[in-house]
Structure 1
Amino acid sequence: MPVTAATRLDHLAVARRFAEAPQTWVTPPRFDPDRRWYHRLAVTDDYEVWLLTWLPGQQTELHDHGGSAGAFHVFSGTLTEDTVSGPATTPRVVSRDLGEGAGRRFGTHHLHRIVNRGADPAISVHVYGPALTSMTRYRLGPAGLETLTVDRAGAQW
């Protein structure tokens, strides 16, 4: 799947390009009732592309992307993104629903959670640049935002 210089750094354009060509995916989407399923579709010097599936109720924890920017595109279904902003002691959470065909870019300091709050399965394509090396997971506790773990690529996923 060719990616031009004009789209190379537009992570959402890359995600959309992959979503528009499911016949090129190296593996078909699968749905796992016990946990979200994911598979890396491509990796380049500039970015990597992941395919994720979401059954109703499946979600990520609050997390960042270890300094990588990126985007995600909803291939099918509806996903809700809960974005965290503000100071760690008094964080603010804003939710937005993204239906089929919708997408979202994010920068290097983005903190969010993605949830399938709908009744139908969902599929999404995610692009990160540079490729993920770590992800920090958080929770909202009594003192505000608390770090849970730092997961490393190649070790935890």
Structure 2
Amino acid sequence: MNSDSDLQIAGDILEVPHLLQTPREHPATVAEFVGLARSIAADRSQWEHLVRYDATTRWYHRLSTGPGYEVWLLSWVPGQGSGLHDHGPSSGVLTVLDGTLTERTERGTRVLEAGAQRVFAPGYMHEVANDALEPAVSLHVYYPGLTEMPMLPQSQLRSTAQTPVASACEARPQQRPVTA
């Protein structure tokens, strides 16, 4: 017995296997998906060489998949947009890698610059467009993987969609945002 305490520890408590959580191989929480998007954004060698710009249609490329999720790379030339849509049962993280995109929702309009992220739940309705004069590139993580993207009539956006808003759903950019 220790003279300073009645407590005795037998062995290393940190070696008890049932107390240790095994590390996850793939993201499972919103914060981990945001982190995944940030890590891909920070490593331009993973995606920059793949980007193509197409003046006739939005270009997209499935960058990777994992258990229950997928990652897409999209490019936007000036004037291109997604149209008003939702993502069915999928949640997502949108990260602007290069350029500037505009997001319109029924709550208002947000200008998203390189490094900005948006997190959204199933059924979230928005339109994303490149209203700038330079091309833009974005990264989209969907969980579960995107199985549908219903297009919606523009009339579903209320007149408040022209009002700039800030939202608690915006993930804060990293200390050093991704730059061109």
TM class, shorter-chain normalised? 0.7 to 0.9
Which of 30, 35, 41 in structure 1 is aligned with 2:63?
A: 41
Q: Which structure carries more helix by proportion?
A: 2
Give the residue type in structure 2 aligned to 1:105: V
Verify the 8 A CA contact 1:8 1:46 in the aligned structure 2: no
Which of 17, 20, 29 in structure 2 is aligned with 1:9?
A: 29
Number of residue pairs the alignment of both structures matches: 133
Query: Matches of residues 4-153 of structure 1 in structure 2 within 5 Å?
Result: 7-10=27-30, 11-25=33-47, 28-84=50-106, 93-141=107-155, 144=156
- CA shift digits 1:81-108 (9 cap, x unpaired): 0113xxxxxxxx5110000111110111
Structure with max Cα Rg:
2
**Structure with greater contact order relative to length (CA < 8 Å, sep ≥ 6):** 1
Unaligned 5+ runs, structure 2:
1-22, 158-180
3-state SS of paired residue (2:37): helix
3-state SS of paired residue (1:12): helix
Q: Percent identity?
A: 41
Q: Which structure carries more strand by proportion?
A: 1
Verify the 8 A CA contact 1:26 1:41 in the aligned structure 2: no
RMSD over aligned Cα atoms: 2.1
